[in-house]
Structure 1
Amino acid sequence: MLLVVDAGNTNVVFAVHDGHVWRGTWRIATDPQRTSDEYAVWLLALLQYSGIDRAGITGAVIGTVVPAALYHLRRLCRDWFASEPLVARAHLHWGFEIKVDQPTEVGADRLLNALAANWRYGGPLVVVDFGTATTFDVVDEDGAYLGGVIAPGINLSIEALHRAAARLPRIGIGRPHSVIGRATVPAMQSGIFWGYVGLIEGLVQRISGEYGRTLRVIATGGLAPLFAEGTGVIEQIDPDLTLDGLRLLAERNPAPTLSRERTRLLDSD
């Protein structure tokens, strides 16, 4: 079985794939100071509760946009699962071209989304990921990654609005009953929801115009279902896109190996 770790700015998602299906998916708030032992106490309890024997996990892959979290996640894989994790990097074999000026600057999550979306749906397409940032990533008909757009995330925008304007409260995200808000909170909710719907529709239209043809739009991230309700642009919601990208990347690249000394120490425990 493969241990998959997707470390984002807000949450770290752990999942186990048995070669056929996902056996479980769990998430914890991202904290770069959380140690490998703290991760282990939490994760091993969840694995046991789900009936998954950690001895059956024979490989690991990590994708992260939080470099400070990588050390402890690597230690988790090495010390508790006897696996040297594959870390998603631009120099690995992705199975497609990365047609941007600086490939090493592209977030791993964006490449992973492109990999999984092309594998599942085929290009050309746009992947919209509703994360800490809202990203739009373009894949051509050959599966090549062409770049995209990075916009402020929805929660980030709400927090910035609350902090910058003393009289504006912190609000929840929801679809308002009308565009014209007749009080402060409904007006803010309308601006966030319909404002982001306009952002999605406008950027997809401009991306398609620049590309020269209509592109299929795939959405992922926790808020994808909510915003898909407000627009017909989004054709498919895929919550497991990044995890599938990590799984596919692990299949395309040789698994790293632990050093002999580390393996010996683990076997002696």
Structure 2
Amino acid sequence: MTYDLLIDAGNTRIKWALAAPGAALGNWVAQGAHMHADAAEFPTALIAALGAVPAVGRVLIANVAGQPARDMLASWLAAPQLPVQQQAIEWFASVPQRAGVRNAYRNPAQLGCDRFAAAIGAHALCPGKAIVIANCGTATTIDAITADGTFLGGMILPGLGLMATSLARNTAQLPQVKPGKLPEGFADNTDDAILSGCLAAQSGAIERAFELHQAVECIISGGAAPYIAPAVPVPYRHVENIVMIGLHAALRSA
């Protein structure tokens, strides 16, 4: 019996999950996440998790963190302590069609591989539905997938943290605020006013995409999702890591 290893190297964190053969989407044997600053912990955690499985048959990696992250991951996966064959490793890329999703980007290869994976995951979770998927991380991406699985395109905007940091860095008197609960009504202090404005911008973009696409469901994912989702005025489902689920769906369809 061989297991599947899925890795999502994003702008802020490296996430991984181990799936048993035939497992339901998102049903992991083990999983973990490491900030890039603490990335040295990744191989140790992975070695510990893989020590409990007979072998890794396939590895699928989505990397949007650039060549240094790719080189680092390739080096770690070549470690003799890991039961990973190099020929089993695939670097996930955006292609015209995969796993029931057609990529309608003008240049399909230009689409970020994390967005393509998220689209595959969303379509696998909601087949036959017009969906909007909002992945709220360092950047927030909001994409539209048709009921028959066509990725139409979407929006990219600064993530919640970037919005707040931009105000703090580029204005003389505004403080750095941390993500939190949406203040009720109009904010009566500067911290809440910044947070309210940033959350309104995020939720408003999601609402706009939902209405434009005439979607029936919205999937919200990413590290900032717990803060943004309660502010979204359309029906939504919070999914922990839609990119990882998309990678899993892509492997299951192979």
TM-score, normalised to structure 2's length?
0.86
What is the deviation of 1:199?
Answer: 2.7
**Whole-Å separation in 2 of the counterparts to 1:189 and 1:34:** 30
Structure 1 runs not aligned, ≥5 long: 254-269
**Whole-Å separation in 2 of the counterparts to 1:200 and 1:96:** 21
Aligned to 1:12: 14
What is the deviation of 1:34?
Answer: 5.8
Aligned to 2:66: 67
Aligned to 2:130: 124
What is the deviation of 1:200?
Answer: 2.3
Going from structure 1 to structure 2, the CA distance change for 1:214 and 1:137 (only over 3 Å counts) comes to closer
Give, as a single letter, the amino acid of the residue that structure 2 aligns with 1:250: L
**Whole-Å separation in 2 of the counterparts to 1:231 and 1:118:** 21
| Equivalent of residue 86 in structure 1, options 80, 84, 90 | 90
Contact 1:6 1:14 survives alignment (8 Å): yes
**Whole-Å separation in 1 of the counterparts to 2:230 and 2:203:** 10
**Whole-Å separation in 2 of the counterparts to 1:202 and 1:144:** 19
Alignment of 1:99-138 (within 5 A): 99-122=104-127, 123-138=129-144
Moved more, 56-65 or 173-182: 173-182
Give, as a single letter, the amino acid of the residue that structure 1 aligns with 2:72: H
Alignment of 1:1-269 (within 5 A): 1-19=3-21, 20=23, 21-30=27-36, 39-45=42-48, 47=49, 52-53=51-52, 55-68=54-67, 69-79=69-79, 80-84=82-86, 85-91=89-95, 94=98, 95-122=100-127, 123-205=129-211, 207-208=212-213, 213-253=214-254
Aligned to 1:265: none
Contact 1:133 1:150 survives alignment (8 Å): yes
Contact 1:54 1:81 survives alignment (8 Å): no
**Whole-Å separation in 1 of the counterparts to 2:161 and 2:149:** 31
Identity of aligned residues (%): 25
Contact 1:8 1:64 survives alignment (8 Å): yes
**Whole-Å separation in 1 of the counterparts to 2:200 and 2:39:** 37
Contact 1:217 1:236 survives alignment (8 Å): yes
What is the deviation of 1:247?
Answer: 1.3
When the two chains are superposed, the root-mean-square deviation of aligned CA atoms in Å is 2.2
What is the deviation of 1:71?
Answer: 1.8
What is the deviation of 1:184?
Answer: 1.6
Aligned to 1:257: none
What is the deviation of 1:54?
Answer: 5.2
What is the deviation of 1:106?
Answer: 0.5
**Whole-Å separation in 2 of the counterparts to 1:128 and 1:196:** 10
**Whole-Å separation in 1 of the counterparts to 2:76 and 2:54:** 14
**Whole-Å separation in 2 of the counterparts to 1:162 and 1:41:** 37
Contact 2:96 2:102 survives alignment (8 Å): no
Contact 1:174 1:193 survives alignment (8 Å): no
Give, as a single letter, the amino acid of the residue that structure 1 aligns with 2:223: G
What is the deviation of 1:248?
Answer: 1.7
What is the deviation of 1:130?
Answer: 0.5
**Whole-Å separation in 2 of the counterparts to 1:125 and 1:3:** 27
**Whole-Å separation in 1 of the counterparts to 2:239 and 2:249:** 15
Moved more, 172-181 or 65-74: 172-181
Give, as a single letter, the amino acid of the residue that structure 1 aligns with 2:46: L
TM-score, normalised to structure 1's length?
0.81
What is the deviation of 1:72?
Answer: 1.9
Going from structure 1 to structure 2, the CA distance change for 1:214 and 1:241 (only over 3 Å counts) comes to closer
What is the deviation of 1:61?
Answer: 0.9
Contact 1:60 1:77 survives alignment (8 Å): no
Structure 2 runs not aligned, ≥5 long: none
**Whole-Å separation in 2 of the counterparts to 1:34 and 1:162:** 28
**Whole-Å separation in 1 of the counterparts to 2:137 and 2:242:** 13
Deviations 1:156-188 (A, max 9, x none): 111111111121111111124333222221221
Larger Rg belongs to: 1
